[in-house]
């Protein structure tokens, strides 16, 4: 076995530049997650390809030697998708970070997979264009990882998940074959949509190396508003009210339970004099109306009159916009409340959400080891997040909490993962939201595209 692995490294070093292959002491300081920088990376070698040709060569050699590969992006995932062992070859796309083309007429951007999301935003903005995908880790998340996990984020309500923002992909298969479908067209009904197979596949079917992104016109009128709400049903009714009034301009609709908001906003001057049971943070984007702001105020005044909301606080500057969304995104403040945490990312039909959360909170209250339960999420698309703080990391407690969160999802036709993927940590619960037939088909697709099961083995399915 060792001879086989040594042969892999020998062959890789023969054909790749020396700085591409990191082994031994060169691995010092490397890690598998951005939150675990003190935990050394376990790997036979870390490879830093500079081109798609490099990735193809790596895959060919590893395929010939039955060598498992783990793919790394920006290391911001939350389900163990980048965990590796000391017998794995780890491939990081951090050097493949170029923006190759911005086509202002087609409104597309072609990028390498290692390109940082925030850099994509800046490049689009320089051409008065806009890439809608946005979330807290945008400063380190790589677009290849976003695509591989079908990232969601804050603007799914209006612009959809990552899969809605991708026009074309280049992917290297397990055996090194390069599949190039970097098209700029929106409509292509020429048989199976192969790109969609790889979006959300978490690196288990191929390594995404380049992508053509769909851009939008830059939206210059932005309203961010925090509102206080009495009960959950009002939050749903207010969502419908906003959709009707703003005619597609509502881009984000976030909800925070009272205890979550109070901790997140504790470092800032209080936004509300009165306490509320729920807080909703909205974003409305428009590009043309000079009366846009006045119209937004009128809509919220009507909502107060109808008792849909109790209070509204508006962001009046770029600094205040950043403050509002910083409150929503700085989840590390929630993590700091307990020594140990479990993070959850689930989908529940909106009409079932209040009952589900009440049931979960009731069961969690019975577990002595739990110190805090923070709930928040993207209400408009049915996505809830839980951060559960504990005073222990015992496996039995972790399993109990998993059962409390995932157990009721089958009954409400929910999902164990709304946007973070499955990885290693959720795969044992996959049957709670996928049928036996669906899981069987997933395995057949894996067998077809990665017959030796070398890419991100053990992720999503065994």
Query: What's the whole-number mean pLDDT along residues 89-113?
Result: 97
Q: Are strands 278-286 and 207-214 parallel, antiparallel or unpaired?
A: unpaired
Tens of pLDDT, residues 153-171: 999 999 999 999 999 999 9
Q: Contact at 8 Å (CB) between 179 and 192?
A: no
pLDDT of residue 263: 95
In the predicted structure, residue 399 carries a pLDDT above the cut 70? yes
**Could you tell me if 12 and 106 lie in one domain?**
no
Q: Flag whether 453 is in a domain.
A: no
**pLDDT for res 1:** 37
Range of the domain at 229: 221-329
> Is 58 in the same domain as 133?
no
Mean pLDDT for the chain overall: 93
Mean pLDDT of the region 94-119: 97
The pLDDT value given to residue 290 = 72
Of the three residues 177, 198, 217, the one that is the final residue of a domain is 217
pLDDT tens, residue by residue, 340-373? 999 999 999 999 999 999 999 999 999 999 999 9
If asked whether residues 248 and 266 sit together in one domain, one would say yes
Which pLDDT score, from 0 to 100, does residue 77 have?
Answer: 84
- Cα distances (angstroms) measured from residue 265 to each of 154, 272, 278, 457: 18, 10, 13, 41
Residues 300 and 344 in one domain: no
Q: How many domains does the chain have?
A: 4
* Residue 462: inside a domain: no
375 and 355 in a common domain: yes
Residue 134 CB contacts under 8 Å (≥ 6 apart), including other chains: 117, 121, 153, 154, 155
More confident residue, 291 or 422: 422
Q: Is 443 inside a domain boundary?
A: yes
Cα→Cα distances 329→266, 353, 443, Å: 14, 21, 35
Does the residue 460 lie in any domain? Answer: no
Give me the percent of the chain exceeding a pLDDT of 70. Answer: 99
CB atoms within 10 A of CB 409: 19
What average pLDDT does range 258-268 have in this prediction? 91
Residue 378 in domain = yes
In this prediction, residue 291 carries a pLDDT of: 76
Q: Residue 29's pLDDT is what?
A: 84
Residue 276 lies in a domain: yes
Q: Are residues 79 and 110 in the same domain?
A: no
d(CA 91, CA 73): 9
- Among 60, 70, 172, 144, residue whose Cα is nearest residue 457: 70
Residues 21 and 71 in one domain: yes
Of 329, 354, 378, the domain-final residue: 329
Euclidean distance between CA atoms 139 and 277, whole angstroms: 32
Of 329, 359, 393, which one is at a domain's C-terminal end? 329
Same domain? 393 vs 421: yes
Q: Is 277 helix (H, G, I), strand (E, B) or coil?
A: coil
What is the pLDDT, as a whole number, of residue 323?
A: 92
Q: How does residue 270 score in pLDDT terms, banded at 50, 70 and 90?
A: confident
* Overall average pLDDT of the 402-422 stretch: 95
Q: Which of 35, 42, 36, 40 is nearest to 70 (CA)?
A: 42
Here the CATH number for the domain that contains residue 90 is 3.30.43.10
Answer whether residue 458 is part of any domain: no
Name which residue leads in pLDDT, 221 or 162: 162
Section 54-64 average pLDDT: 97
Whether 350 and 435 share a structural domain:
yes
Residues 113 and 174 in one domain: yes
* 280-319 tens-digit pLDDT: 999 999 886 777 888 899 999 999 999 999 999 999 999 9
Q: Does 111 lie in the same domain as 191?
A: yes
Domain at 281, CATH number: 3.30.70.2190
Sign of CA dihedral 394, 396, 397, 399: positive
- 210 and 103 in a common domain: yes
For residue 378, the domain's CATH number is: 3.30.70.2740
| Percentage with pLDDT > 90 across the chain | 84
* CATH number of the CATH domain containing 164: 3.30.465.10
Q: What is the pTM of this model?
A: 0.92
Whether 316 is in a domain gets the answer yes
Q: How far apart, in whole angstroms, are the C-alpha atoms of residue 168 and residue 25? A: 38
């Amino acid at each position: 076995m060792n001879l086989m692995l040594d042969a892999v490294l020998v062959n890789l070093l023969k054909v790749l530049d020396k700085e591409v292959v990191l082994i031994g002491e060169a691995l010092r300081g490397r890690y598998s997650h951005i939150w675990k920088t003190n935990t050394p990376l376990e790997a036979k070698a870390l490879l830093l390809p500079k081109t798609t040709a490099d990735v193809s060569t790596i895959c060919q050699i590893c395929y010939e030697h039955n060598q498992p590969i783990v793919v790394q992006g920006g290391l911001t995932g939350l389900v163990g998708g980048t965990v590796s062992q000391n017998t794995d070859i780890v491939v990081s796309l951090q050097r493949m970070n170029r923006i190759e083309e911005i086509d202002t007429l087609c409104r597309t951007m072609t990028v390498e997979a290692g390109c940082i999301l925030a850099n994509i935003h800046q490049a689009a903005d320089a051409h008065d264009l806009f890439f809608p995908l946005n979330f807290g880790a945008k400063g380190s998340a790589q677009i290849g990882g976003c695509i591989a996990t079908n990232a969601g984020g804050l603007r799914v309500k209006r612009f959809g998940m990552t899969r809605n923002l991708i026009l074309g992909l280049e992917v290297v298969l397990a055996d090194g074959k390069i599949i190039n479908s970097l098209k700029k067209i929106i409509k292509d009904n020429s048989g199976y949509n192969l790109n969609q197979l790889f979006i959300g596949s978490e690196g288990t079917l191929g390594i995404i190396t380049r992508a053509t992104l769909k851009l939008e016109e830059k939206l210059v009128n932005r309203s961010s508003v925090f509102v206080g709400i009495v009960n959950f049903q009002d939050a749903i009714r207010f969502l419908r009210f906003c959709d009707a009034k703003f005619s597609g301009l509502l881009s984000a609709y976030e909800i925070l339970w009272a205890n979550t908001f109070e901790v997140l906003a504790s470092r800032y001057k209080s936004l509300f004099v009165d306490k509320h049971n729920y807080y909703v943070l909205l974003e409305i984007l428009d590009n043309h109306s000079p009366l846009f702001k006045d119209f937004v105020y009128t809509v919220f005044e009507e909502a107060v009159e109808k008792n849909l909301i109790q209070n509204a606080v508006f962001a009046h500057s770029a600094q205040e916009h950043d403050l509002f969304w910083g409150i929503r995104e700085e989840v590390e403040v929630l993590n700091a409340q307990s020594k140990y945490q479990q993070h959850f990312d689930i989908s529940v039909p909106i009409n079932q959400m209040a009952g589900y959360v009440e049931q979960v909170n009731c069961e969690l209250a019975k577990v002595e080891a739990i110190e805090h339960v923070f709930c928040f999420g993207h209400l408009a698309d049915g996505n809830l997040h839980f951060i559960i703080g504990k005073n222990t990391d015992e496996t039995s407690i972790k399993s109990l909490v998993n059962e409390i969160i995932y157990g009721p999802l089958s009954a409400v036709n929910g999902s164990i993962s709304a946007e973070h993927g499955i990885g290693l940590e959720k795969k044992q619960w996959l049957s709670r939201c996928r049928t036996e037939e669906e899981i069987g088909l997933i395995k057949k697709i894996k067998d077809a595209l990665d017959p030796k099961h070398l890419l991100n083995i053990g992720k999503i399915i065994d």
